[in-house]
Structure 1
Amino acid sequence: MKKQFLIKKPMNVHFRRELMVLVVPIALQNLVSATVISADVFMLGMISQSAMSAVSLAGQITFALTLFYMGMSTGAGILTAQYWGKKDLKTIQRVLSISCMFSFCISVFFFLFSFLYPGMLMRIFTNDDELIRYGARFLQMNSFSYLAMGISQMYLSVIRSMENARLSAWISSACLVMNIIFNAACIFIFFPGRSELAISGVALATVCARFIELGCCVVHSVTRGSIRFTLPVHDGIQRKLLKDFFKYTMPVQGNYIVWGGALTATAAIIGHVSADMVAANSVSSVVKNLAIVLCGGIASGGSVLIGKYLGEGEIEKAKHAGNRMNVYALIFGALAGCTILLMKPLVFLMVSLNAMAQHYLDGMLYVCAYYCIAKSMNSTTIAGIFTAGGDSKFGFWCDAVVMWGIILPLGYLGAFVWHVPPILLFAMISLDEIIKLPVALIRFRQYKWLNNITRTFAET
């Protein structure tokens, strides 16, 4: 017993050190990303509540596109992490080219739709003419950022899965900080008090930042990167790898679409309840995303390590890592909830909301504090541990049943049939993580996620 403890203790220390090397940069990147979104919301909120709400609703289109990026980058990350465990750079190079090809095609589709039909898209989320006008203006200009975003996100995901999280965080964070600076200049210096021009300036700042980010990725790939941007190669190896890519990416992609589509639908429900609730929900979402950045770092960093261990054939090591990650997820989820409650006074000082919106926001932040614990646990198990081992179908079926079978019908009934108070409605549509938690933990203890999914390719 004592010998077993001595073996596990160095293993825990080593895993903790490896995890923190990945978690800190990824959490920093998530923090900066969430800060950019929050900066947009808070700075526009200083101009007008309508401008803030419109950009928040227009951001649902970017969020929908991001879901595709998240699915493809997760699929690419699954394969990259395991082939990184085998140190197979040639296969990782092929994974990058496949993921970039698909992400660019989807980016072009979203760009054309957002540029040509912004007003129609805004009407999905609200029937308020002012919000539609402001949101369409933002969406049309912001659509150009999609053309750069897809390629850069795939590259950053792949190098992060090769345990180069610091570089990924540095490129992403530097460009996002530039975005904040550009936004502040547009809102407070060039167009103070002029809502429509400020919204256009914020969109243009986002476009500039995304193209700078892509430029940094290209320069690194050409000068110092171990992988390059190349066109896909058509041969037998590529066909097998493409089959694996679809096998592990499509369930994750479906999971993100089902989950994100449900969130977009709940945003549409909220958008048709009241403009005050939209404003309060915009702020509460920002605060919640800021609070859980470290939880996302645990899920992403841990999944890279588990994928690497499985690729190396270290099954017991991966199993032990998964158990430790769940403990960390619980701790950081509780800390995130406490952070939200501590941030409340500061939030009310920073945003200009009317009395009713402030009342809604106060109740929503209490709901978010409890939500964070379950969210942290589920993100770590479903989006991190399970996908790292190729068990990507569970998340899809779990979200399909919970979000579309329970939460959305409950939200619709609460809003349009029962006419429950807005804060109770928000609590009802935030039950998804609570419902999923016990199911995810049971699945975790079955250890069906412990799979080595790599192939040994013979180059011809």
Structure 2
Amino acid sequence: MLIKDKSFYKMLLAIAIPITLQNLINVAVGMADTLMLGQLGEIELSASALSNQLYFIFLIVNFGLGGGTCILVSQYWGKKDIPKIRTIMGIMYKVSIALSIIFTLLALCIPRQIISIFTNDINVINIGEQYLRIVCIGYIFASISNCTVMAFRSVQTVKISIVIYGSSLLVNVFFNWLLIFGNLGAPELGVIGAAIATVIARITEFIISIIFIKFFDTKIKLRWDIFKRADKSLLIDFIKITSPVVVNELIWSVGSATMSVIVGRMGTEVVAANSIANVVNQFMTVFIYALSSSASVIIGNSIGEGAYKKTKDASFTILLSITVLAVISGCLVFISRPFVVDFYNVSAATKSFAMDIMLVNSVIIVFQALANTTNVGMLRAGGDNTFVLINDVIFMWLVALPLGFVSAFVWKLPVIAVFCIIRVDEVLKSTCALIRLLSFKWINNVTRD
């Protein structure tokens, strides 16, 4: 039932507000990149957007790795079993480094082939190839800092993320300004300058993460020995819990990248318009996604404690809150459309496409928020990873993507109709997730004594 205890909401906000600020900072980084590169034109903006599809897949896989780790860490934190948390985080870092090396090699060895998947515009491919070869240097640094932030979030240490990503924002914006446009006597490098600025920002995040772990963390107290710690039973649990999440995020990210192929083949103007709309969508959902992350922590901790009634009440209360916030966000997206497009130095056609895409997003954002909160925020926290995997994948790959290709390239429907079709999976999977959530069959304690 609905929780009325003020302490619950204080705890929820204590976790959600720092995460909101972190998400706002991340959105601000994306907005700064699109605004600055948008001054150069559609080709440069599209080149960076499509080049970053590989990083998007990499980031999502890392999110899956961190998310799977968080399930274990949050429940063990409920039991206050610190030694097991250290062992789990050691496993996480080793996998994270291995994934970083794989994705970096892909970006260095076959950048042109990767970008060619998303567009046949030779100018976009040429610029994107240069961008990708540089920006991939930051992958390993981003991976370690992202996994660190997610793992510490599970033990309710969330403020460090503001420091890490706030510093990253300042560094990124400054070096973008310096190197894209050649200010203060620096060379005018355009898209290459944006790539270098991103790498510098990723290294900054990594350095701050290491400083925090070494000198300021008082809960987990990680040391280099985590790379030597071994526990066969925990490794089995890690693989069992984390693998479905990583596979889920990988398949979802590949599906999302495939949707970018659809968008990319619809023209450079549509790609640029979608980049603008995505920034708005991210900005309007920052607090919602922060509450979703808070839900994951609170529910994971309560399951670890064995407080299952608290788990049920918390899930219902958060679900109701998210629904209200999602409707408000949708209205704000709709209202802000004409004001947003005027910020960009793009063609009239691009502005028109951006208006249409944001119109679709203003409705879909409600279902998107519900799907994320139920699937990622609550069902996963209860260890119901297999259901989330099936629910997330089936509607994207069997409904949205096939119909998206047909609607764009066979039926040749207008842009607004294509975007309605490729986002329909959010409606379907949020409905199934809600049914599963209210059954409460997803509550599982995955810890060991």
Normalised-by-shorter TM-score class: over 0.9
Q: Identify the match of residue 369 of structure 1 among 357, 362, 366.
A: 362
Change (3 A) 1:285 1:191: farther
State the secondary structure of the residue aligned to 1:350.
Answer: coil
d(CA) in 1 for partners of 2:163 and 2:317?
Answer: 27
Q: Identify the match of residue 62 of structure 2 among 69, 91, 94.
A: 69
Q: Deviations over 1:174-228 (max 9, x none)?
A: 2233212221222344399x98x22111111111111111111111111122332
d(CA) in 1 for partners of 2:16 and 2:167?
Answer: 18
The structural deviation recorded for 1:234 is 5.5
Residue 46 of structure 2: aligned partner? 53
The structural deviation recorded for 1:229 is 4.6
Please tell me whether residue 43 in structure 1 is matched to residue 27 in structure 2: no
Q: Which amino acid aligns with 2:300?
A: G
The structural deviation recorded for 1:60 is 0.6
The structural deviation recorded for 1:129 is 0.5
Any residues of structure 2 matched to 1:430-441 within 5 Å, and which? 430-441=423-434
Q: Which amino acid aligns with 1:227?
A: K
The structural deviation recorded for 1:418 is 1.0
The structural deviation recorded for 1:401 is 1.1
Please say which of residues 417-426 and 306-315 is displaced more in the overlay.
417-426
Residue 245 of structure 1: aligned partner? 238
Q: Identify the match of residue 440 of structure 2 among 434, 440, 447.
A: 447
Residue 290 of structure 1: aligned partner? 283
Q: Deviations over 1:346-397 (max 9, x none)?
A: 3122112212211111111110111111111111100010111111111210
Q: Which runs of 5+ in 1 are unaligned?
A: none
Residue 222 of structure 2: aligned partner? 228
Change (3 A) 1:325 1:352: same
Residue 202 of structure 2: aligned partner? 210
**Percent of aligned pairs with the same amino acid:** 32
Q: Deviations over 1:323-343 (max 9, x none)?
A: 011011111211221221232
d(CA) in 1 for partners of 2:26 and 2:291?
Answer: 16
Indicate conservation of the 8 Å contact 1:37/1:286, yes or no: yes
Q: Which amino acid aligns with 2:227?
A: P
d(CA) in 2 for partners of 1:326 and 1:221?
Answer: 34
Residue 132 of structure 2: aligned partner? 139
The structural deviation recorded for 1:159 is 1.0
Indicate conservation of the 8 Å contact 2:379/2:442, yes or no: yes
State the secondary structure of the residue aligned to 1:165.
Answer: coil
The structural deviation recorded for 1:171 is 1.7
State the secondary structure of the residue aligned to 1:227.
Answer: coil
Indicate conservation of the 8 Å contact 2:167/2:204, yes or no: no
Q: Deviations over 1:37-58 (max 9, x none)?
A: 1211111001211101110111
Q: Deviations over 1:400-419 (max 9, x none)?
A: 21000001100111111111
d(CA) in 2 for partners of 1:191 and 1:330?
Answer: 48
Indicate conservation of the 8 Å contact 1:54/1:131, yes or no: yes
d(CA) in 1 for partners of 2:60 and 2:359?
Answer: 27
Q: Deviations over 1:109-159 (max 9, x none)?
A: 111110122111110110101100111111110010012111111111111
Indicate conservation of the 8 Å contact 1:142/1:207, yes or no: yes
After superposition, the CA RMSD in angstroms is 1.7
Q: Which runs of 5+ in 2 are unaligned?
A: none
Indicate conservation of the 8 Å contact 1:191/1:198, yes or no: no
Q: Deviations over 1:251-288 (max 9, x none)?
A: 11121112211110010111112111111111111111
Q: Which amino acid aligns with 2:228?
A: V
Q: Identify the match of residue 219 of structure 1 among 211, 218, 222.
A: 211
Residue 298 of structure 2: aligned partner? 305
Residue 12 of structure 2: aligned partner? 19
How many residues of Structure 1 are paired with residues of Structure 2 in the alignment? Answer: 445
Q: Which amino acid aligns with 2:22?
A: Q
Indicate conservation of the 8 Å contact 2:338/2:355, yes or no: no
Indicate conservation of the 8 Å contact 1:218/1:229, yes or no: no
- In the superposition, the TM-score normalised over structure 1's length comes to 0.93
Change (3 A) 1:191 1:254: farther
Please tell me whether residue 199 in structure 1 is matched to residue 194 in structure 2: no
Structure 1 runs (4+) deviating above 6 angstroms are: none
d(CA) in 1 for partners of 2:61 and 2:358?
Answer: 28
